[in-house]
Amino acid sequence: MCAVPLPEVLTTPENSCGGILIVCMPGLGPEKKPLRKGNFFDNSIDRGTVLHRFIEWFSLWGMRPTRTRGREGPFERQFFTLQWPDEPIENAHGPQMVPLIAEKVDILAAVLEARRPRIIIFLSRYLWLAANTTQSRQRLADVLGSPLDEGRRITSERLNACAQRWEKCLMIALPQPSKNTTEKFVQSLASSMRAALSGANWPLTTQQSTDPLLSAADGCLIVDREASIRRIAAELHVDEKRAQALFDALKDKAWREKDGRPTAVAHKRL
């Protein structure tokens, strides 16, 4: 069965102006159209596998969106979606799609003009590149102004993810969620995504002190404290001070001190 278009997100005061727009490729919706509208995180609405996976990323970034209908707050009500372009691109793949998507920039421009989002998250690098063609920049100039930079990488992992400042918004380009977007990759985005959404009143995870890199740091622990810290720094691409803080945060979770040395907690491997 072919996927239907992305289900429309309920319009709210928070996403009518100054909200957070999620832009997806066409053909990623659910198999059946939902019977009603709801907020972006509403777990009773099937938005398709790609958006379901994307929503799961928030917990890896240390955020806990409310998923229950009727309990959503200002954070959840800020999000809305766009399928761009309106139809799948035929006979083109990868970078070949970029100029063809850009030809449909009026679809993106119409939504931006109507709702003026302050953050745009593209769930495909090709969508972001299409928004940055000369043709698209000229069309979007009235609503977004001009780009203030050409975009910077926000991950050290193999897959690319970028953030780009425009005069009137922040653009974020993430890979389309799939089996290739591993938990390690998603966690590598945590610091940048938390910073990007810092003014969005995002709710903390249940463990308020949880650092999104802790689970990755846990996998780096070995018997020796200093060796563990060096390994955390090397594998997570953080400095020694950050690595030491992650190691200390795992005390009594993954290790405890015995006779002046770290030992494993329960089944944990040190």
Give residue limits of the domains in the chain. Answer: 13-196, 214-264
Q: What type of residue sits at position 262?
A: P
**Per-residue model confidence (pLDDT) at position 201:** 67
**Per-residue model confidence (pLDDT) at position 213:** 63
**Per-residue model confidence (pLDDT) at position 184:** 93
**Per-residue model confidence (pLDDT) at position 228:** 81
User: Looking up tokens 């997806």, which residue turns up?
Assistant: 24
45: nearest Cα among 8, 94, 20: 8
pTM, two decimals, is 0.76
Contact 132, 147 (CB under 8 A): yes
**Per-residue model confidence (pLDDT) at position 186:** 95
Upstream peptide bond of 74 is cis (omega within 30 degrees of 0): no
Contact 192, 162 (CB under 8 A): no
Residue 140 CB partners (closer than 8 Å, separation 6+): 105, 108, 109, 112, 131
Class of domain 13-196: alpha beta
Contact 130, 105 (CB under 8 A): yes
Compute the distance between CA of residue 197 and CA of residue 210 in angstroms, rounded to an integer: 17
Written as tens digits, the pLDDT of the chain (270 aa) is 457 889 999 999 999 999 999 999 999 888 888 889 999 999 999 999 999 999 999 999 988 899 999 899 999 999 999 999 999 888 878 889 999 999 999 999 999 999 999 999 999 999 999 999 999 999 999 999 999 999 999 999 999 999 999 999 999 999 999 999 999 999 999 989 988 987 766 676 544 445 556 656 665 666 577 888 887 877 676 778 878 888 888 877 777 776 666 665 544 433
Compute the distance between CA of residue 171 and CA of residue 152 in angstroms, rounded to an integer: 11
